[in-house]
């Protein structure tokens, strides 16, 4: 699949802002299943960006606007090609996989993705509630699939119940939220089971008459490290494996590592308007 993604963030300030320093993570990644064919940003007021790769391998751009301004618009246009084959449900938990999963080397290598963060913290009884409903499944891949299904069934997708600062504890107690909340809750339970898991930020292509939800802004899902195989994407909001409809921007421990736009400015309050358009250009 080949897609064009147009993503526009517009900040409106109550008063003129003296200056602002901003960081964006909006450039899709290139990996073994996804190729970034083109990317450009348009920033108003005009500003040049400086790019670097962060500790998680994400593309990060920073820019500074020195003059007074009462709005800021960041528009990015990306063309991405994806070819990702489904195979997760055909994985057998072999003795070799089990040996890798229980090894100290495996644990140490993925240590960053085994610990809680502010966003992914759950109370012990919340974790036990989920595991009790799922069952004690030894196979980490099968457990991940069942957890994805469980969260999809017990949570209600609700854009008004949480906000960007809501953590997993609150989202789990509400049993409501958006893709960010589903993802943080799933990460917490997986990590409590010793399964390395990371947060993925990206875009979702829904197309016509699709049951998928989460395409109005950036989307979020989970990647699980399957021992001996690699990272596998799972989307608890939609109860699907993350395949050709899922366009990856960045990965990290939680939302704070992959936040699309962060900034510091001197001035009053702000209002943000976000528009995302994902268009299929062609089938591979």
Name every residue whose Cβ is closer than 8 Å to that of residue 209 and which is 6 or more positions away in sequence: none
Average pLDDT in the 262-276 region? Answer: 84
| Residue 184: burial class (beta carbons within 10 Å; 0-12, 13-18, 19+) | buried
CA atoms within 13 A on the CB side of 166: 24
Looking at residue 90, what is its pLDDT? 67
How many whole angstroms separate alpha carbon 279 and alpha carbon 284? 14
How many whole angstroms separate alpha carbon 224 and alpha carbon 230? 8
**Which of 235, 233, 197, 234 has its CA nearest to residue 215?**
235
| Residue 116: burial class (beta carbons within 10 Å; 0-12, 13-18, 19+) | middle
**What pLDDT digit, counting tens, does each position of 102-149 carry?**
999 999 999 999 999 999 999 999 999 999 999 989 999 999 999 999
Contact 15, 90 (CB under 8 A): no
Q: Is 13 left (phi over 0), alpha (psi -120 to 50) or beta?
A: beta
Residue environment code for 205-227, b if the CB has 16+ CB neighbours within 10 A, otherwise e: bbeeeeebbbbebbbbbbbbbbb
**Domains of the chain, start order:** 2-82+259-282 (2.60.40.2250), 88-258 (3.10.620.30)
Selected residue with higher pLDDT from 204 and 268 = 204
**What pLDDT digit, counting tens, does each position of 196-252 carry?**
999 999 999 998 757 788 777 899 999 999 998 899 999 999 999 999 999 999 999
How many whole angstroms separate alpha carbon 116 and alpha carbon 118? 7
CA distances from 106 to 52, 188, 196, 230, 233 (A): 28, 18, 9, 12, 19
- Give the β-pairing of 50-53 and 156-157: unpaired
């Amino acid at each position: 699949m080949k897609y064009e993604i147009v993503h526009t963030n517009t900040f409106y300030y109550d008063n003129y802002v003296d200056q602002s320093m901003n960081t964006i993570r909006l450039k899709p990644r290139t990996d073994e299943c996804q190729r970034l064919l083109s990317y450009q940003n348009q920033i108003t007021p005009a500003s040049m960006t400086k790019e670097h790769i962060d500790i998680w391998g994400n593309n990060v751009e920073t820019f500074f606007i020195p003059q007074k301004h009462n709005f800021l618009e960041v528009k990015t246009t990306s063309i991405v090609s994806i070819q990702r084959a489904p195979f997760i449900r055909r994985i057998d938990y072999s003795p070799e996989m089990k040996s890798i999963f229980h090894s100290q080397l495996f644990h140490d290598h993925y240590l960053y993705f085994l610990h809680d963060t502010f966003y992914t913290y759950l109370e012990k009884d919340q974790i036990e509630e989920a595991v009790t409903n799922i069952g004690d499944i030894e196979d980490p891949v099968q457990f991940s699939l069942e957890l994805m299904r469980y969260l999809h069934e017990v949570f209600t997708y609700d854009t008004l119940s949480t906000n960007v600062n809501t953590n997993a504890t609150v989202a789990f107690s509400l049993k409501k939220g958006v893709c960010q909340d589903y993802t943080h809750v799933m990460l917490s339970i997986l990590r409590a089971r010793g399964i390395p898991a990371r947060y993925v930020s990206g875009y979702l292509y829904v197309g016509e008459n699709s049951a998928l939800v989460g395409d109005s802004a950036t989307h979020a899902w989970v990647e699980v490290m399957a021992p001996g195989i690699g990272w596998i994407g799972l989307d608890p909001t939609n109860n699907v494996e993350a395949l050709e409809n899922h366009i990856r921007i960045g990965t990290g421990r939680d939302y704070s590592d992959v936040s699309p736009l962060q900034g510091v400015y001197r001035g009053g309050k702000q209002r943000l308007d976000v528009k995302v358009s994902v268009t299929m250009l062609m089938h591979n």
